[in-house]
Amino acid sequence: MRRHVLRMAETVGQGYVGQGLGIADLLAVLYFGEMKYDAANLAWLDRDRFLLSIGHYSIGLYAALAEAGVIPIEELDTYGADESRLEMAGSEITPGFEMTGGSLGHGLGQAVGMALGVRLDRRPSRIFNLLSDGELQEGATWEAAMAAAHHQLDHLFAFIDCNNQQADGPPSQVMNVESVHEKWKAFGWDTQRIDGNSVAAILGAIDQAKTVPGKPHAVVLDTMMGKGVRAFEIREKNHFIRVDADEWRMLREQLEAAASPSNEKI
């Protein structure tokens, strides 16, 4: 999936690469270990639903959907192109997208609505929502959080990506949102905070959440922007990345080195 992210960004020379690399571990767990869905029947009513509130993270979701067989891998080369289904900020024109993201702060509200809907329909579906630390600056997020706890939506999972970057700088300087873990707990959610780039930690957090009935589940993910590509990991500003044409080979080599079996952290 991280290879796909670099492939898409290289095609246009820019993109939200850091976010796609940073969230790949969560998407791998959800799409290839946890969620129930049918790539050949995306309208299956009993499917689990993944809502990408942060529309500009779509480069990461495109990579997951390609690996899952929802969209053709060769279509990744159209990322960001005019009239492409793979826009830089994802929308419902892309197969596998449950919502149009990008107007930040609305994802959790839609997730709560879907969770209430599948409950009324008596379906076994679960709702997984990815939102960002910057979205916690939006009041609508906290209205939705209150509603989810009030209605005891224990089939709702919110993953909060805390990469400590947003367009205007670190959230601590723009509008501080910490302590994120304590806020979600105070709002009545079953809450955990983990290493968001550890597959084992993500799997463990989901398993732990399943043992807690009657509460929605918040998993706060501490992630690294640009995970797996050293040049991106150490960049001070990673929100939107432009790379010169002659640098992509070096970036791909860094990714392959990080993914080597000899590297125990990957």
Model confidence pLDDT, tens digit, residues 164-181: 888 888 888 999 999 999
Whether the Cβ atoms of residue 74 and residue 8 lie closer than 8 Å to each other:
no
In the chain, the domains with their CATH numbers are: 2-258 (3.40.50.970)
Q: What is the pLDDT of residue 105?
A: 87
Residues 28-35, mean pLDDT to the nearest whole number: 97
In terms of Cβ atoms closer than 10 Å to its own Cβ (0-12, 13-18, 19+), residue 206 is: buried
- Scored b (16 or more CB within 10 A) or e, 144-156 reads bbebbbeeebbbb
Per residue in 66-115, pLDDT tens? Answer: 999 999 999 999 999 999 999 998 888 999 999 998 788 899 999 999 99
HSE-CB at 70 with a 13 A cutoff on CA atoms is 23
Residues above pLDDT 70, as percent of the chain: 97
For residues 52 and 50, give the distance between their C-alpha atoms in angstroms, rounded to a whole number.
7
For residues 2 and 252, give the distance between their C-alpha atoms in angstroms, rounded to a whole number.
10
HSE-CB at 13 with a 13 A cutoff on CA atoms is 3
Residue with tokens 């999936």: 1
Q: What is the pLDDT of residue 165?
A: 87
Q: In one letter, which amino acid is 224?
A: M
